[in-house]
Chains A and B, each alone.
Chain A
Amino acid sequence: MSKYSHVVNVAVLVGLAFLGFQVFQAIFQPDSFGQYGRYRGDHLVEASSLSVLHRGDDYCLDCHDAEWDMADAKHATVPCENCHFLPGPHAIPVDKANSVDKAKAAGGKYVKIEIMPIDRTAQPCLNCHTFLPSRPVKFPQVKDGAKHIKDGWKKAMGEVKINSPCSRCHNSHFPKAYAKGVV
């Protein structure tokens, strides 16, 4: 036995541990680990490749710019998707449509194949316009729904219908433009 055997033993052990760690790392560490930092680099690509659901107003305006001439409207800042739900596949390009649908396109780029659902109850309106003390004071709010309808409706029709949706009197796109005969 050489007098350095204890050093050799330790060196071999350290070497084995190092080798073992290298093997462990090669098997279990993802390839892209450390590409940008101490994390799996591929996750950045995975996280950014999820599908987008909310398209924003620009997406709707591609086809519906005529309906969207709302420069003066109070509701111009309200995105379409808040009331009209997510833009599902409700229209397809003309060249992909069948002959019956093609006739409906009337020269446009897209054909409507499905009607977009819309919640016509008062709930979408009340989400924003119920009176709450925490809301900004200048924001238009309805303190007493029954009274609001009674006052507005009486002037128009002379009768009270509590459960009528807001859209009976208010145009959702131009809320200040009331239905004919109201106020």
Chain B
Amino acid sequence: MKRRKAAKRLESRREFIKIAANGMAGMLIVTLMPKSSWAQRIHQIEEMKHVPDWMDHYYAYVVDTTKCIGCGACVRACKRENNTPDGYFRTWVERYQITDTGHVYIDSPNGGHESFPPKDVEGKALKGFFVPKLCNHCRNTPCTQVCPVNASYETPQGVVLVDKQTCIGCGYCVQACPYDTRYIDPRTHTADKCTWCYHRVTKGLAPACVTVCPTKARIFGDLKVKNSQVREILDSQRVMVLKPELNTEPYCFYIGLDRAVR
């Protein structure tokens, strides 16, 4: 009797190992499956039909970090246009300075609102650049997934919005966003974030930050329009997204991104 039980257990262990091995092989196949290419994604976007007509767009944003001069015009314009509270930013500019001692200095005094004061660094600055940051309007959005009341959502145009009337201010989305682009508005106690100036883009205007950029480092456009500037850049240039390892599929792309950028 005892022996039979032991034999059964052995059998079940073998079964278990078999199942586990099969499961692991399956998972490996899933992870090794090729992700959809950019051409496939564009094709899917072009196939999408939205009614009414004013929704029939699919937006993307490109930041050319090689052109940014860190003047802060975008940060000031965003603050004016969207009336964000002091100390909170929907978009901000980060300054990177990499020295010969190997240090990477990153700062963003008041979000770059008053441009940047000169900063002393140890050693000789080898290279430096500015990186404007904003909501990446991801397709695999970590922030909308955690919203318990469906206040945060993706519009059919690919813009991630927060419905302040529904938002209960729990702050889950603020924690979930890997790009730190959300904050709880201290006046309304609801979540707030960059909307790509939804009130402007639906009227055919560019977001405020894009409108005021003096070096045209910020570019915004419609992926459904074949000859739009974003489409041309994404088709022909080398672009990168922030934190690609998180597989959030951002629709905010960067040109000239350094590996020091976090």
Between A and B, how many residue pairs show CB distances below 8 Å?
111
Q: Which residue of chain A lies nearest to B195 when distances are taken between CB atoms in the complex?
A: A47
> Which of A37, A50, A134 lies in contact with B130, CB distance below 8 A?
A134
In the assembly, what is the distance between CA of A81 and CA of B213, in Å? Answer: 10
The contact size tier of chain B is: 35 or more
User: Is A56 interfacial (CB 8 A cutoff)?
Assistant: yes
User: Is B97 interfacial (CB 8 A cutoff)?
Assistant: yes
Question: Which of chain B's residues have a CB closer than 8 A to the CB of A181?
Answer: none
* Other 11 A-B pairs with CB < 8 A, given A54-B208, A135-B69, A136-B66: A43-B161, A48-B203, A53-B80, A78-B214, A82-B73, A86-B80, A126-B115, A130-B118, A132-B116, A134-B70, A134-B116
Question: Which of chain A's residues have a CB closer than 8 A to the CB of B195?
Answer: 47
On whether the beta carbons of A127 and B72 are closer than 8 Å, the reply is: yes
In the assembly, what is the distance between CA of A47 and CA of B198, in Å? Answer: 6
User: Is B238 interfacial (CB 8 A cutoff)?
Assistant: no
On whether the beta carbons of A128 and B214 are closer than 8 Å, the reply is: yes
What residues make up the interface of A, taking CB atoms closer than 8 Å to B?
30, 33, 36-40, 43-44, 47-54, 56, 77-79, 81-82, 86, 126-128, 130-136, 139
In the assembly, what is the distance between CA of A78 and CA of B217, in Å? Answer: 12
A62–chain B nearest beta-carbon distance, Å: 15
Question: Which of chain A's residues have a CB closer than 8 A to the CB of B71?
Answer: 127-128
Q: Which residue of chain A lies nearest to B201 when distances are taken between CB atoms in the complex?
A: A48
B76–chain A nearest beta-carbon distance, Å: 9
> Which of A33, A52, A81, A128 lies in contact with B200, CB distance below 8 A?
A52
A31–chain B nearest beta-carbon distance, Å: 13
On whether the beta carbons of A54 and B129 are closer than 8 Å, the reply is: no
On whether the beta carbons of B163 and A39 are closer than 8 Å, the reply is: yes
Question: Which of chain B's residues have a CB closer than 8 A to the CB of A54?
Answer: 77, 80-81, 200, 208, 211-212
Q: Which residue of chain A lies nearest to B99 when distances are taken between CB atoms in the complex?
A: A133
In the assembly, what is the distance between CA of A136 and CA of B128, in Å? Answer: 8
On whether the beta carbons of B69 and A40 are closer than 8 Å, the reply is: no
In the assembly, what is the distance between CA of A81 and CA of B208, in Å? Answer: 11
Question: Which of chain A's residues have a CB closer than 8 A to the CB of B212?
Answer: 54, 79, 81-82
Per DSSP, chain A at the interface is loop
Question: Which of chain A's residues have a CB closer than 8 A to the CB of B80?
Answer: 53-54, 86
Question: Which of chain A's residues have a CB closer than 8 A to the CB of B128?
Answer: 132-135
B155–chain A nearest beta-carbon distance, Å: 6
A175–chain B nearest beta-carbon distance, Å: 12
In the assembly, what is the distance between CA of A30 and CA of B151, in Å? Answer: 12
Known: A53-B208, A81-B212. A131 touches B150 (CB 8 A): no
Q: Which residue of chain A lies nearest to B166 when distances are taken between CB atoms in the complex?
A: A40
In the assembly, what is the distance between CA of A130 and CA of B118, in Å? Answer: 8
In the assembly, what is the distance between CA of A168 and CA of B206, in Å? Answer: 34
Q: List 20 A-B pairs, Cβ < 8 Å.
A: A30-B166, A36-B155, A39-B163, A43-B161, A47-B198, A52-B81, A52-B199, A52-B200, A53-B81, A53-B208, A54-B212, A56-B206, A77-B214, A79-B211, A79-B212, A82-B73, A86-B80, A127-B115, A132-B116, A134-B70
Question: Which of chain B's residues have a CB closer than 8 A to the CB of A131?
Answer: 118
Question: Which of chain B's residues have a CB closer than 8 A to the CB of A33?
Answer: 150
A86–chain B nearest beta-carbon distance, Å: 7
User: Is B215 interfacial (CB 8 A cutoff)?
Assistant: yes
Q: Which residue of chain A lies nearest to B121 when distances are taken between CB atoms in the complex?
A: A133
In the assembly, what is the distance between CA of A126 and CA of B199, in Å? Answer: 31
In the assembly, what is the distance between CA of A44 and CA of B213, in Å? Answer: 27
B185–chain A nearest beta-carbon distance, Å: 15
Which residues of chain B (87-135) have a CB below 8 Å from chain A? 95-97, 114-116, 118, 125, 128-130
Q: Which residue of chain B lies nearest to A86 when distances are taken between CB atoms in the complex?
A: B80
Known: A48-B199, A82-B214. A39 touches B153 (CB 8 A): yes
